Amino acid sequence: MWLADVVAPGRHLFGPRALPPFVAARRGKRPVRTYAGAGVDRRRTAGALAALLANVRYRPPVASGRPIPLRGHYAGLIRIGRETIAITTDTVGTKSILAEQLDRWEEIGIDAVAVNVNDLASVGARPAGLVDVISCRRADPKVFAQIGRGIDRGLRAARCSLLGGETAIVPELVQGLDVGGTAIGFFPRGRAPVTGARIRPGDVLLGIPSSGLHANGFTLARRVLAGSISGGRTRRRGSRRSIGVELLTSSRIYVAASEALADRPGTTGFANVSGGGVRNLTRLHRNVQFVLDRWPKPAGVFQWLAEAGKISPTELYQTFNMGIGFVVVVRPSSAAEALRHLRVAGYGDAQVVGRVTRGRGVVLPRLGPSYASYA
Amino acid sequence: MWLADVVAPGRHLFGPRALPPFVAARRGKRPVRTYAGAGVDRRRTAGALAALLANVRYRPPVASGRPIPLRGHYAGLIRIGRETIAITTDTVGTKSILAEQLDRWEEIGIDAVAVNVNDLASVGARPAGLVDVISCRRADPKVFAQIGRGIDRGLRAARCSLLGGETAIVPELVQGLDVGGTAIGFFPRGRAPVTGARIRPGDVLLGIPSSGLHANGFTLARRVLAGSISGGRTRRRGSRRSIGVELLTSSRIYVAASEALADRPGTTGFANVSGGGVRNLTRLHRNVQFVLDRWPKPAGVFQWLAEAGKISPTELYQTFNMGIGFVVVVRPSSAAEALRHLRVAGYGDAQVVGRVTRGRGVVLPRLGPSYASYA
């Protein structure tokens, strides 16, 4: 989901999430450029979540496990007996509306795994198990078989077990299919969570390309698609697939990248570039600046979105991953070695995308966007 | 959810769930008695889930944790390092439609915790952490504050931490508010999972009363309510609350019951009487018969449902908990002691409700219903 964290001060929640500002499409002649009434009021959502969290005050005795405070991060951590367990929950969101339009569901199955295991990878946790939740109007065996194939592919890439799930047939509550899940992970003996707390100025940002939009920004992307002359059947110049199919491309899974680097002392942070785009980097450390001065020029669907949707750079980089789906933060002396390990792990396309300096927030110097925080 | 497990043979999934047969209301003069087109095709759902699971074949290496096979049970179990972790995911389902009608949300917050921790209690796992998921059209701070208060109350009763959550504003996917969650639990040193595998003829069934419908059977209950003369504002004879408010009563939490008895060798099983009603007992052991010859006469809303809805006993006992929300199976020599421990733990209203014999399935001898299996 392209949802930003809203965490009440001092809470150890990785947090319910609120929508970041975004650009909504306008039909007809007006360009897709500004926030418009897409039914989402970001400030209202943030306020509602703060109201929920303000009421959750209970802290259980240590006999029930000890939560590890990790404010605003990708996963919740809890010490249970002799292990630290990481847990994260997320949904595929409105990407499933596009899947329904194209009647292709395998990608949604992969994404149900990916959105969760990539968040586990962002704290350096090794995925162990997933439970899926499908809420729908009715259960179509062909659709479910495709989702199952996708879940299988996702689990394979993440080396994770399916431990169960829930299928709710709730035609009065849900239109189409709402797919999500929860994943748990752990830290193999000797590994500490990689939280970003050790990040310091001078660290280098390595970026691993995304496979496309992953599962974020679809409310906006679908509107751009609907506003384009021939809808989902159009092809971009140079592409053999329709834009609809390109947008539906399943999320790349970064578990093997995290596994390759989480035990190395030169690794200081991991960030899944999910909802909130490059703002996600601020979740790792609030008192440094992430300077994205070598972010590659967006191509493919990102270029198409910018042009067809007439979306500003500031909106683009806080809504979509803009070509880089996962960022690894390393000490400068470890950068070359980290790139070698990533290559061996199957991420030969990783590259330096920026650096850490003094300051706060995230900046894209040549393009102009700058963001002070995540929300 | 009042959803039955559908598990592919040989899988270690606690499983995506399909709707059991149920009685749908008929508006107008015809009594609410038979299955009708409420938009749910049980066989179709079972087939769809089988199709999904048939495609999930991947089994990860042991370095990713070792799933413990527990076919068709309440929770998935996985061995992670030196601990066994239990995980369960469930939603509150269409009870939230009643909450919206009455504009009361605290009960839904409690239920989001209860539906999950009561499933953990059913394998003898101690709840450690919960993540919640709220999918909605828009986030109303007053509604979210009430849900937060409910979650807090639920966590307090379960001695569980909130570790995070997800709030998805997806007006194109969801009508109203869909609330669910995932809970993880563990087995304190020296405790083994309580799976029912040791149950044998002669064991005694202790029942702990429910607080009402909990979060199951609401698609049917709301129809009975809608068909009654004055809808949700009606009161039952002898009740000071409207039926709507009675139906919305939050689920009782049985964690303390499980905690009081899980370490005792005379305890052989726990069953949360959730979706599927008394059929749930078959999840504990497939080759014994559960004879419910001392099940208390249903009163309150259950009596009202039977009468106003003209629902047959067979449908009632496989759709609602019919007054008993949690069943503990014990050796006959441990029954008196177990009742004493339950009293100390706050369940002084526990009572003997039946016994285990040779055979299969569940029977209610005086009333007539008998069920061969869970699905």
pLDDT of residue A40: 53
Integer Cα distance of A13 and A155 in angstroms: 26
Whole-structure pTM value: 0.90
Q: With 90 as the cut, is the pLDDT of residue B13 above it? A: no
Burial class (CB in 10 A: 0-12, 13-18, 19+), B295: buried
Alpha-carbon dihedral angle through residues A222, A228, A230, A235, given to the nearest 10 degrees: -80
Q: With 60 as the cut, is the pLDDT of residue A150 above it? A: yes
Average pLDDT, whole number, for chain A? Answer: 88
Least confident of A167-176, B39-48, B75-84: B39-48
Least confident of A113-127, A131-145, A246-260, B35-49: B35-49
* pLDDT tens digits, B292-321: 999 999 999 999 999 999 999 999 999 999
Asked if this assembly's ipTM is beyond 0.85, the reply is yes
Reported as type and span, the H/E element at residue A114 is: helix A106-121
Least confident of A65-69, A146-150, A201-205, B13-17: B13-17
pLDDT of residue A231: 60
More confident residue, B12 or A319: A319
**Pick from A55, A75, A91: CB nearest B133:** A91
Sign of CA dihedral A28, A29, A32, A36: negative
pLDDT of residue A227: 81
pLDDT band at B12 (very low <50, low <70, confident <90, very high): very low
pLDDT band at A21 (very low <50, low <70, confident <90, very high): very low
Average pLDDT of span B275-290: 96
Average pLDDT of span B194-218: 97
Backbone angles phi, psi at A48, to 5 degrees: -65, -45
* pLDDT tens digits, B344-355: 999 999 999 999
Whether B182 sits inside 8 A of A89 (CB atoms) is: yes
Whether A60 sits inside 8 A of B85 (CB atoms) is: no
pLDDT of residue B32: 39
Q: With 90 as the cut, is the pLDDT of residue B141 above it? A: yes
Neighbours of B238 (CB within 10 A): 7
Integer Cα distance of A88 and A116 in angstroms: 6
Reported as type and span, the H/E element at residue A347 is: none
Q: How far is A155 from chain B (nearest CA, A)?
A: 7
pLDDT of residue A42: 63
Q: With 80 as the cut, is the pLDDT of residue B199 above it? A: yes
Beta bridge partners of A17: A5
More confident residue, A1 or A59: A59
Whether A39 sits inside 8 A of B164 (CB atoms) is: no
pLDDT of residue A232: 61
Q: For strand B76-80 and strand B83-91, is the pairing parallel, antiparallel, or unpaired? A: antiparallel
Task: Please answer whether residues A192 and A11 qualify as being in contact, where contact means their C-beta atoms are separated by less than 8 angstroms.
Answer: no
Task: Please answer whether residues A374 and A276 qualify as being in contact, where contact means their C-beta atoms are separated by less than 8 angstroms.
Answer: yes
pLDDT band at B41 (very low <50, low <70, confident <90, very high): low
- Distance, CA of B214 to chain centre: 8
Q: In what order do the strands lie in the sheet with A83-91?
A: A66-68, A76-80, A83-91, A177-186, A126-136, A161-169
CATH 3.40.50.300 for domain A204-371, yes or no, is no
pLDDT band at A48 (very low <50, low <70, confident <90, very high): very high
Average pLDDT, whole number, for chain B? Answer: 88
pLDDT band at A33 (very low <50, low <70, confident <90, very high): very low
Q: With 80 as the cut, is the pLDDT of residue A108 above it? A: yes
Average pLDDT of span A120-142: 96
Whether A168 sits inside 8 A of B55 (CB atoms) is: no
- Distance, CA of A284 to chain centre: 14
Whether A16 sits inside 8 A of B96 (CB atoms) is: no
Q: With 50 as the cut, is the pLDDT of residue A268 above it? A: yes
Task: Please answer whether residues B176 and B96 qualify as being in contact, where contact means their C-beta atoms are separated by less than 8 angstroms.
Answer: yes
State percent of chain A over pLDDT 90. Answer: 79
Integer Cα distance of A127 and A24 in angstroms: 35
pLDDT band at B42 (very low <50, low <70, confident <90, very high): low
Output DSSP code: residue A175.
Answer: S
Q: Which residue of B has its CA nearest to A159?
A: B60
Q: With 60 as the cut, is the pLDDT of residue A352 above it? A: yes
Test the B interface: residue of A56, A70, A143 with most B CBs within 10 Å = A56
Q: Tell me how far CA of residue B304 lies from CA of A50, A176, B29, B230, in angstroms.
A: 40, 34, 18, 14
Beta bridge partners of A135: A168, A178
Q: With 60 as the cut, is the pLDDT of residue A6 above it? A: no
